[in-house]
Amino acid sequence: MKTSLVILAAGIGSRFGGGIKQLEPVGPHGEIILEYSVHDALEAGFNKVVFIIRPELEQYFNEMIGDRLRKKCEVAYVYQTGDNIPAWYTVPAERKKPFGTAQAILCCKDAVKEPFLVINADDYYGKEAYKIAHEQLVSGQRSGKPFDFCMVGFILKNTLSDNGAVTRGICRVDADGYLSKVTETGGLIRIDEASVAADGENGEKITLSGESIVSMNMWGLTPDIFPKLEAGFADFLRGLAPDNIKAEYYLPSAVDALVSAGLAAVKVLSSRDKWFGVTYREDKETVVESFRALHEAGVYGDRLI
């Protein structure tokens, strides 16, 4: 059965200082985070990789990973541009950022015809996450709702940066292990081992449990989501104030809307692997040390792809 790994890699990386953080070497042999992600996904059973990038990055991606990867699986590039923006909407000249992760996934509608797993290019999720996600995607389990998806949930305290605030989708999970609500929450900073500070919905500061389940944009989806994303993106643009040049159409919010409408069932798969990634430039040292330790422990060999 064909299953795709869809990698969100079009981000500008502003908090990283404007560099191409997705292509920063972090492994002991110059590996980038993407190489670990793709290695783990192929090992778990995925057999196609789709990179969502900016057009000017394709040459770099080919040189860093794409040319080698084609020897192992099917590879496709999708550009997050304005091609799927409705003709009636005029993008403000001042807007420089793309329209977010849900719009990025919408760019894949002509390239992905099979069940797929979405990940961020600059996040390391651990081997277990790919295995449980692939098993769920190919299981054929049906909930009776129009859309059957899955999500790999992580423990909040395992997903924080020591160098600044991050944004995560805080999840509420029902007794049967299905997602009932996901709320995009910013300003997340560790208070101590048990608690995390966050921005509340009205701008106030709140405290969350470090054991809260969060989305790290690791979603198992099916192609029938594309029409819903298209309609949702149009609604998002209609409600956007002309002077709002930073608002984004987030994938967790799009999925949450389907869940809230009773249209989608999202099975939450638990991983206790420790996430790490390069959100801020200062994160790189920790990430490099983490990968060195994984290689020394024998989790990875000298060559990934």
pLDDT in tens, 238-248: 999 888 988 99
CA 195 to chain CA centroid, Å, is: 24
Q: Report percent pLDDT > 70 for the chain.
A: 96
pLDDT at 154: 92
Tokens, residue 56: 């000017």
Are 187 and 170 in contact by the 8 Å Cβ rule? The answer is no
pLDDT at 58: 87
CA 183 to chain CA centroid, Å, is: 15
pLDDT at 19: 58
Instruction: Give just the sign of the alpha carbon dihedral 186, 171, 149, 259.
Output: negative
Count of alpha carbons within 13 angstroms of residue 26, beta-carbon side: 31
Are 94 and 6 in contact by the 8 Å Cβ rule? The answer is no
pLDDT at 21: 64
Please tell me the distance from the alpha carbon of residue 79 to that of residue 36, in angstroms, as a whole number.
Answer: 22
pLDDT at 16: 43
Q: Report percent pLDDT > 90 for the chain.
A: 66
- Mean pLDDT, all residues of the chain: 91
pLDDT at 109: 94
pLDDT (average), residues 69-89: 90
**Highest-confidence range of 59-73, 178-192, 220-234, by mean pLDDT?**
220-234
Answer yes or no: is pLDDT of 95 > 70.
yes
Tokens, residue 254: 């799009």
Write the pLDDT tens digit of every residue in 1-10. 999 999 998 8
Answer yes or no: is pLDDT of 122 > 50.
yes
pLDDT at 242: 84
pTM of the model: 0.91
CATH number of the 4-296 domain: 3.90.550.10
